[in-house]
Structure 1
Amino acid sequence: MKSWTCLFVVVFSLFVEVSSFNFGLDLGLSPKYYKKGQKVDLLVNKVESDHTQLPFGYFDLNFVCPASREKKPLHISLGEILRGDRLWESDFKLAFGKDISCARLCDFLAKVPQITFADRLIKQGYVVHWSIDGLPGATTFVSNNKNSKYYAAGFPLGFFEDDISYLYNHFMLVIRYHSEKKHPGMHTIVGFEVYPKSVVDETCPGSSKSYENLALKLPEGKKGKVAKLRIPYTYSVYWREDNSIDYANRWELYYANETHSASTKIHWLSFLNSVVLVSLLTLVVVIILVRINRLDSKNSDSSPNLALTAEIDNAFSKNAAWKNLGGAVTKRPVFPLLLSMLVSSGLQLIIATVGIILSVIIKSQLDYNKARGGEFSNYQGAFSSLALSCFVMSGILPSFFGFVLYKIFNNENLSVQIPPAKAVKLSILFSGFLPCLVLSVMLFFNFFVFAKESSNALPFGSIVILLILFFLIVLPLGLIGGYYGNKLKFNKKSIMFFSEKGKDSPNFVPQVNVSTTAKRALMSVIRNSTIVMLIYGLIPFGIVYVELSFIFNSIWLEKTTFYYMYGFLFLTTLSLIIIVSESTIIGIYISLVIENNPNWQWLSFRIGSSIGLYIYAYSIYYFFSLLNVQDFVSILLYFGYMALVSVLIGIAGGSVAVLTGMVFIKKLLTSTKAD
């Protein structure tokens, strides 16, 4: 096979993914300058809670002031829709630099269902998300030493005490701005703080603390009339010049929380731990490769000694394991089509993931001088859009490499192309497997979310767009990749072949001389696929544990925080790929030497995919130990999506392992001489 052709396909896919983001997607990181008195838009988005996976659009709440007729929803990206965002213009009248001591939005008359709904959301800890100039409305905190403050995106919908809920209905908005010296008379917004209060009447409390809170309970009504609760919504606005913060650093307060420095140290310690683990496994792999190279140098008629230790040398007969190596390990694996589909799909996931991380890192570096704090986490909807685009653009990979692997694993005549009708079916199968899996899971869960009227429910138009992307982009890319993969010429000197001779080789029967109970126990462990997966998945999970915990916290536990350490994530991903590759080499070597088992293909996949089991097990532990989720739909979404993510990571790890196994077996075949 022309290895340069495969390398070109991978590099080209990465280039398309990275360039399509860096040059085709505007994140709005360029500063927007304001003059005194200029209109400033406040956008309302959604409410969400750490205790449930069901966000709601702000104007979908039936107890807030509805939008006036002239206010419209903003056009948002598909990635933002997938996150449950619902951006709307609001009726807040803001003019840059002009304070408002008190303004009324509306007086809302709430009935029993509306009060009940508000009460439930407050007790579930829902927070409100607004934004000005791309900055989330933030709750302000002061560090324990009182030397600094930091922000948490969003503000609570209300509070409750003694089982009575109180709704925040007055909003004191503090907007901080920076005067630009390079642009006289122009200013940039560098902070947006919201201080909500619960007030029983329409009088704005200001800085006073002598006011009565608005309890969510119906007043006593007259006979024959339905009682209603009057909720007065008011706001005040204060503009504060703050030249200690410039536009490039305005996101620092969202990151500089109590645990910021400690978490950075944890990341560095985790990275050092990964380096140590990689170094230890690298040492073992080097020992194995040195022993294999000795085989090539000896070139004798006697069977080479590939034992890891002297005791293992005595555990198997000298001629049984390697005499038929060429014929045994090149036999066709079971379910070659399934293996080809899984490995090619895993390769797509790896390229898409690396493309996403590199795009984020490159974009943040390109925009460092303009908006260092942007670092992409302020536009999580854009992150979802990037992930979707990388996944779609890499659709050419699974069909291209699927054909290559299918021909190799299935012992097809490599010089003859697969007939067009069958080639089209295989192209659709290879390119459509992963998107169909993800779409099916998403649409299945969408029924439950839609029944709850959550903003996470995909609108019909978004579902149509996803289907259009699949049929008009993914499948055509798959057909193109399959066409070139089918036509690709193979070079027998540069690829691991599963030759026709492998089919005719006699069934390979392990001939290990096991003489002691300890050795029998060792053999039983090696032959148990479940134990193998548990053993080989432990070290890769140790590599990703720290980053995994931070990502889990950002997605499931503390949704108002941002995950932004993509440099560490890239290093962790690279370390994981190395660890999986080295574990695969060790696993195959032990399987061949001790057990004399030549069926390395699915063994490699099990070794690589074992990390998925650990991730799902960790998600179960995380749910019961840290999360406080009670409603059925949220529990279903959590375990369902974590199962999907674990499967996808397992497939990606399995593909790395199988490709590594192919290279390692090729090395063995070129170094081992049959009697």
Structure 2
Amino acid sequence: MKWFRPSPSLAALVALKASLSAAFYLPGVAPTDYNEGDRVALNVNRLTPAIVPSTQQVESLISYDYYHEFFHFCRPKKGPEKISESLGSILFGDRILTSPFELSMAKNETCKFLCTSTHDKNSAKFTNLRIWQGYNLNWLIDGLPAATLTSQVGDESNQFYSQGFSLGGITPNPGDHKPFINNHYDIIVDYHRIPGRKEKPFRVVGVVVQPSSKQQKISGDGKSADCGNDTPLYLSESDNTDIHYTYSVIWMESPTAWATRWDKYLHVFDPRIHWFSLVNSAIIVIFLTGMVSMVLLKTLRKDIARYNQLDLNEDVQEDSGWKLVHGDVFRPPKNPMLLSIFLGSGAQIFFMTGITIMFALLGFLSPSGRGSLATAMIILYTLLGFVGGYTSARVYKSFGGESWKKNILFTPIFIPGVVFGTFFFLNFFLIWKGSSGAVPLWTMVALICIWFVISLPLSFTGSWFGFRAQPFDAPVRTNQIPRQIPEQALYLKPIPSMLLVGILPFGAIFVELYFIMSSIWFHRVYYMFGFLFVCYGIMIITCSTVTILMIYFLLCSENYHWHWRAFFISGASAFYVVLNAFIYWLSKLSLGGLASNVLYLGYSLLIGFLFFILTGTIGFFSTWFFVRKIYASIKID
């Protein structure tokens, strides 16, 4: 029986094609086996900004196509051909193309001449600026990204692969720092020999590229080169510069099995930080859960027992506490349409996030499937349109809403419209800069088609079922005349309560958020989904407990406007997410130019908005359950 692992990028499609039960290999899952001398394809990807060694900061967010007109890299004789990619890979800016490099399995090459290209002064200025900004080249060999072998600071023995390798470097001469371009590549490929197999026994299990700058000598026939001159090659910004590209290939046998070849890429930087974060978050959750338990099991139990023992004909107004507002606590909130739309979209995001993290935890969304994480999120969000429509419709009906047609229409359009509109606006900046990250027009059309053909009908169907279902009836009768709300304590006012409570859910995810942001902006592989899964659970518990506790205090102060308050109190953690992004922007990034800054701030605000919807939804439904439970437990005249 052949070894098989589900495809990351096609995990959702497997479920749709369950009827095709015959044994087969999914593309990218089965290992590619080679005989000695077989051609091993080297594909090229975009150029991405990396950390500048001198400043330890990222200075740009714009990625460029490998065959951008100003780089003048060597092209295949028939021209570069596109390699098929997943939707998520395209959205994240991958542009994978063929290359003229010729690699043969287990066959070493030394100083093999590739081509000669000419840089004019405009191309030299463009390329030199990219070298100053620390750009990396990204290649793929047998699906593995070409990497630089590096080690963690203070632990030279702990080596791992860092994706990509430098476009060039800066001369270290004091007072004479000049950029040079790397034009020679030592390609070191690790391969694994399958024991006992005679036919196609080799598999690629590791790729390291060591770039260097050389002024080679090319033979008269232009077919060979001498790479003995290690003098760096500089691009002149006042005249044309000829560049000779060469490469060497070194094949090294490795004991690493194909199934574990990604281990060196999935390096966890100081796992003690993650454990400390989890312990810290767990302590917060235990503390909050203990406080809420005291309220529920001690204070509320006494209150409910006292209320139920009193004579309902007596005047007990002065000793009723949160019972005083029983006739107003289930009064519909202001703007019930908008709140129900937020809650529907929040439920959709909640289940999408949870299922995605679960799939990633189980290994279905491995980094070997480029863009599989984003693809899974898009597919899940689309298919969960039914959940969003149903939740929004039933909540809106429970609020007594009557504009059901508007609710059905706006639920699948409002939040996705904001996200798509922001994404579309930011895409113009990528187009303006000629970035490879600019999403192609047909990909945009495909997203719109997915939205209208799949998501909208599912949302409409969910709304139809939601409006047909019974509303959540209030356990107590609502008075016709609203009760007057007394002056509130400072900590119960909207802004202080939001700032006070919102920081606790943020504290539960702060460390993982830092690593996620580093993986996004520094182009690192994030694969700590076990920690992320636990942090997600802790965040849910924290959002629920702190919101319930604050709303309990609010009700005790005779304030029955809890619906929007519950949503905003829990959602206020998004404010700290955005604030953290601003601090990260100032401390870790040194972005030059309008486009990079707009992209960072735009995407940070968009992430904060979605996080606000998610956490606000968690806080609201937890509080709604709590409020219904306590008022259903007392006898009301």
With normalisation by structure 1, the TM-score equals 0.84
Mapped contact 2:342–2:613 kept (Cα < 8 A): yes
Take 1:449 and 1:376, find their aligned partners in 2: how far apart are those partners? 28
Q: Which has the higher helix share?
A: 1
Asked whether 1:228 is paired with 2:205, we answer no
Asked whether 1:265 is paired with 2:272, we answer yes
Asked whether 1:295 is paired with 2:272, we answer no
Question: What residue number does 1:447 align with?
Answer: 428
Mapped contact 1:424–1:482 kept (Cα < 8 A): no
Mapped contact 1:18–1:355 kept (Cα < 8 A): no
Asked whether 1:528 is paired with 2:493, we answer yes
Take 1:107 and 1:61, find their aligned partners in 2: how far apart are those partners? 15
Take 2:245 and 2:215, find their aligned partners in 1: how far apart are those partners? 10
Choose which of 356, 359, 374 in structure 2 pairs with 1:384.
Answer: 374
Amino acid corresponding to residue 87 of structure 1 in structure 2: I
Take 1:329 and 1:250, find their aligned partners in 2: how far apart are those partners? 58
Question: What residue number does 1:9 align with?
Answer: none
Distance 1:44 1:19, change over 3 A: closer
Question: What residue number does 2:193 align with?
Answer: 179
Asked whether 1:635 is paired with 2:610, we answer no
Choose which of 451, 467, 480 in structure 2 pairs with 1:470.
Answer: 451
Offset of residue 435 of structure 1? 1.5
Offset of residue 322 of structure 1? 4.1
Amino acid corresponding to residue 532 of structure 1 in structure 2: S
Question: What residue number does 1:458 align with?
Answer: 439
Choose which of 377, 401, 407 in structure 1 pairs with 2:391.
Answer: 401
Mapped contact 1:322–1:672 kept (Cα < 8 A): no
Choose which of 120, 139, 142 in structure 1 pairs with 2:148.
Answer: 139
Question: What residue number does 2:5 align with?
Answer: none
Offset of residue 183 of structure 1? 2.8
Question: What residue number does 1:372 align with?
Answer: none
Distance 1:425 1:157, change over 3 A: same
Offset of residue 386 of structure 1? 1.3
Question: What residue number does 1:361 align with?
Answer: 361
Take 1:206 and 1:288, find their aligned partners in 2: how far apart are those partners? 80
Asked whether 1:157 is paired with 2:167, we answer yes
Take 2:511 and 2:623, find their aligned partners in 1: how far apart are those partners? 28
CA-to-aligned-CA distance 1:212-261 (integer Å, 9 cap, x gap) = 11111157xxxxxxx42111111111111122x111221222234xxx3x
Offset of residue 626 of structure 1? 1.3
Q: Following superposition of structure 1 onto structure 2, how do residues 642-653 of structure 1 map, counting pairs within 5 Å? A: 642-653=604-615
Mapped contact 1:199–1:211 kept (Cα < 8 A): yes
Question: What residue number does 2:86 align with?
Answer: 77
Structure 1 residue runs without a partner (length 5+):
1-16, 220-226, 304-315, 365-374, 413-417, 513-522
Amino acid corresponding to residue 234 of structure 1 in structure 2: T
Amino acid corresponding to residue 390 of structure 2 in structure 1: F
Question: What residue number does 2:63 align with?
Answer: 55
Aligned to 1:56, the other structure's residue is in SS state coil
CA-to-aligned-CA distance 1:528-578 (integer Å, 9 cap, x gap) = 21111110011111100110111111112x32x211010110111111011
Distance 1:479 1:146, change over 3 A: closer
Take 2:210 and 2:282, find their aligned partners in 1: how far apart are those partners? 46
CA-to-aligned-CA distance 1:410-463 (integer Å, 9 cap, x gap) = x25xxxxx7xxx644422211222211111001011111101010111111111
Mapped contact 2:570–2:615 kept (Cα < 8 A): yes
Distance 1:172 1:543, change over 3 A: same
Take 2:281 and 2:167, find their aligned partners in 1: how far apart are those partners? 42
Q: Following superposition of structure 1 onto structure 2, how do residues 226-375 of structure 1 map, counting pairs within 5 Å? A: 227-243=239-255, 245-256=256-267, 260=268, 263-290=270-297, 291-298=299-306, 299-301=308-310, 318-319=318-319, 321-364=321-364
Mapped contact 1:278–1:575 kept (Cα < 8 A): yes
Amino acid corresponding to residue 345 of structure 2 in structure 1: S
Q: For the aligned residues, what is the CA RMSD?
A: 2.4
Asked whether 1:548 is paired with 2:513, we answer yes
Take 1:270 and 1:142, find their aligned partners in 2: how far apart are those partners? 24
Offset of residue 94 of structure 1? 1.2
Take 1:533 and 1:555, find their aligned partners in 2: how far apart are those partners? 28
Distance 1:325 1:182, change over 3 A: farther
Mapped contact 1:317–1:511 kept (Cα < 8 A): no
Take 1:113 and 1:429, find their aligned partners in 2: how far apart are those partners? 50
CA-to-aligned-CA distance 1:317-349 (integer Å, 9 cap, x gap) = 734644543211011111110110111111111
Mapped contact 1:292–1:671 kept (Cα < 8 A): no
Take 2:242 and 2:461, find their aligned partners in 1: how far apart are those partners? 63
Amino acid corresponding to residue 651 of structure 1 in structure 2: I
Take 1:21 and 1:293, find their aligned partners in 2: how far apart are those partners? 50
Amino acid corresponding to residue 558 of structure 2 in structure 1: N
Offset of residue 201 of structure 1? 2.5
Mapped contact 2:431–2:438 kept (Cα < 8 A): yes
Offset of residue 662 of structure 1? 1.1
Amino acid corresponding to residue 215 of structure 2 in structure 1: V
Aligned to 1:541, the other structure's residue is in SS state helix
Take 1:506 and 1:489, find their aligned partners in 2: how far apart are those partners? 26
CA-to-aligned-CA distance 1:117-161 (integer Å, 9 cap, x gap) = 111110111000001011111112256555353211100000123
CA-to-aligned-CA distance 1:471-506 (integer Å, 9 cap, x gap) = 11111111111111121234xxxx45288x53x432
Mapped contact 1:271–1:572 kept (Cα < 8 A): yes
Amino acid corresponding to residue 247 of structure 1 in structure 2: W
Question: What residue number does 1:215 align with?
Answer: 234
With normalisation by structure 2, the TM-score equals 0.89
- With 119-128 and 96-105 compared, the bigger mean Cα shift is at 96-105
Distance 1:255 1:19, change over 3 A: closer
Offset of residue 403 of structure 1? 0.6
Aligned to 1:57, the other structure's residue is in SS state coil
Question: What residue number does 1:505 align with?
Answer: 480
Of all paired residues, the percent bearing the same amino acid is 29
Aligned to 2:264, the other structure's residue is in SS state helix
Distance 1:18 1:86, change over 3 A: closer
Distance 1:292 1:182, change over 3 A: farther
Offset of residue 379 of structure 1? 3.2
Choose which of 88, 92, 102 in structure 1 pairs with 2:101.
Answer: 92
Offset of residue 202 of structure 1? 4.1
Offset of residue 296 of structure 1? 3.6
Question: What residue number does 2:221 align with?
Answer: none
Mapped contact 1:151–1:253 kept (Cα < 8 A): yes
Distance 1:181 1:206, change over 3 A: farther
Mapped contact 1:101–1:206 kept (Cα < 8 A): no
Mapped contact 1:21–1:386 kept (Cα < 8 A): no
Mapped contact 1:295–1:672 kept (Cα < 8 A): no
Mapped contact 2:475–2:632 kept (Cα < 8 A): no
Question: What residue number does 1:433 align with?
Answer: 414
Offset of residue 614 of structure 1? 0.5
Choose which of 606, 619, 624 in structure 2 pairs with 1:657.
Answer: 619
Mapped contact 2:408–2:463 kept (Cα < 8 A): yes
Offset of residue 26 of structure 1? 4.8
Q: Following superposition of structure 1 onto structure 2, how do residues 592-607 of structure 1 map, counting pairs within 5 Å? A: 592-593=555-556, 595-607=557-569
Offset of residue 175 of structure 1? 0.8
Aligned to 2:33, the other structure's residue is in SS state coil
CA-to-aligned-CA distance 1:34-84 (integer Å, 9 cap, x gap) = 111111100000101032111011012422123432541112122111111
Offset of residue 511 of structure 1? 4.9
